[in-house]
């Protein structure tokens, strides 16, 4: 009872929210505002700033390299979203009381427990053109000139997508698995009595019931892909010659390698704007008229 009393006081609510709000403000919103502001400057990050108005933003919009990197980011977003179907299928199988589901679930989760840098090192070794396990295997199968995965500008982007998708597989499988486990057994039983096939149960009953979770994961996958950085930075540094550059790595390169903090900040802010727009569009597209209830 006393809890309800406290929570009816608006000031108390504000008081409890305040610490988190201050943290979010200081750590996220103020830096956001600052990077938008730095984007208006000609600044090498070291010396004096000089106000140049919208020049950085105009340059960025006309910068083909930026749009190339944006295209790569969107490709990643596309494949991440596509891969959700596979994860969903795997979760459905895991959730349907097969033998060893518990063990398999843990195996799928392992990549999530590794740090990005460790994953990058692992896959650098896998992709090594002459000593890597992948090419050794291909050569064993009789392929004469297996590709140099991280060196060929036509392949590198797709090669690097594999570990990125692999890295997050466990995360999505875990979410789907938890959601599927929440579906009351009685519903499935009822469907079975009505003569529904397993495929029908999956598609007509399970999927609609976890639609909310699926939508959230779609947004997570797209937003996560658009701002993706780690593996690209460690494995190729965006190379060769920009073939695997994504928006975040391009921003980093501008700010830290070419000493162009102003321009880098502008790109960073554009990255935020693009991600926001895409998020809104995705939410609109996946918006449902009616919420399904168990």
Q: Report long-range pairs for 55-62 (Cβ below 8 Å, ≥24 apart).
A: 56/262, 56/263, 56/265, 56/266, 57/266, 57/269, 57/270, 59/263, 59/266, 60/263, 60/266, 60/267, 60/270, 61/270
Q: How far is the CB of 255 from another protein (least distance, A)?
A: 8
H or E stretch at 41: strand 41-42
Nearer to another protein, 162 or 219 (CB): 162
Nearer residue to another protein within complex by CB, 155 or 216: 155
Least gap, CB of 101 to another protein (angstroms): 28
Q: How far is the CB of 73 from another protein (least distance, A)?
A: 19
Task: Tell me the closest approach of the beta carbon of residue 239 to another protein, in angstroms.
Answer: 6
Shortest Cβ 204–another protein spacing (Å)? 41
- Closer to another protein by CB, 80 or 236: give it: 236
Q: Is 241 left (phi over 0), alpha (psi -120 to 50) or beta?
A: left
Cβ contact 60:263 at 8 Å: yes
Q: Which residues are near another protein by CB under 8 A? A: 44-48, 124, 127-131, 148-153, 156, 236-237, 239-242, 253, 255-261
Q: Which is nearer to another protein, 81 or 128 (CB)?
A: 128
- Between 65 and 204, name the residue whose CB sits nearer to another protein: 65
| Three-state secondary structure call for residue 100 | coil
């Amino acid at each position: 009872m006393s809890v309800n009393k406290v929570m009816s006081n608006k000031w108390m609510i504000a008081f409890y929210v305040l610490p988190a709000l201050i943290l979010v403000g200081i750590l996220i919103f103020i830096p956001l505002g600052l990077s938008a502001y730095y984007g208006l400057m000609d600044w090498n990050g070291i010396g004096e700033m000089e106000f140049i108005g919208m020049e950085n933003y105009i340059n960025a919009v006309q910068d083909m390299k930026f749009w190339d990197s944006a295209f790569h980011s969107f490709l990643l977003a596309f494949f991440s979203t596509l891969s959700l179907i596979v994860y969903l299928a795997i979760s459905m199988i895991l959730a349907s009381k097969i033998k060893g589901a518990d063990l398999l679930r843990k195996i799928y989760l392992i990549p999530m427990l590794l740090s990005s840098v460790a994953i990058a090192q692992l896959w650098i070794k896998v992709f090594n053109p002459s000593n890597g396990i992948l090419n050794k295997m291909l050569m064993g199968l009789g392929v004469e000139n297996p590709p140099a995965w991280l060196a060929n500008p036509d392949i590198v982007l797709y090669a690097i997508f594999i570990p990125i998708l692999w890295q997050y597989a466990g995360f999505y499988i875990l979410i789907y698995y938890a959601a599927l486990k929440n579906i009351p057994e009685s519903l499935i039983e009822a469907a079975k009595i009505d003569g529904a096939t397993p495929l029908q149960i999956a598609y007509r009953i399970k999927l609609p019931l976890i639609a909310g979770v699926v939508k959230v994961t779609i947004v997570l996958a797209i937003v996560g892909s658009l701002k993706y950085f780690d593996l690209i930075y460690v494995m190729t540094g965006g190379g060769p010659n920009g073939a695997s550059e994504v928006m975040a790595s391009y921003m980093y390169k501008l700010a830290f390698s070419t000493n162009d903090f102003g321009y880098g900040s502008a790109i960073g802010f554009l990255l935020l704007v693009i991600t926001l727009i895409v998020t809104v569009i995705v939410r609109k597209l996946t918006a449902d008229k009616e919420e399904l209830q168990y």
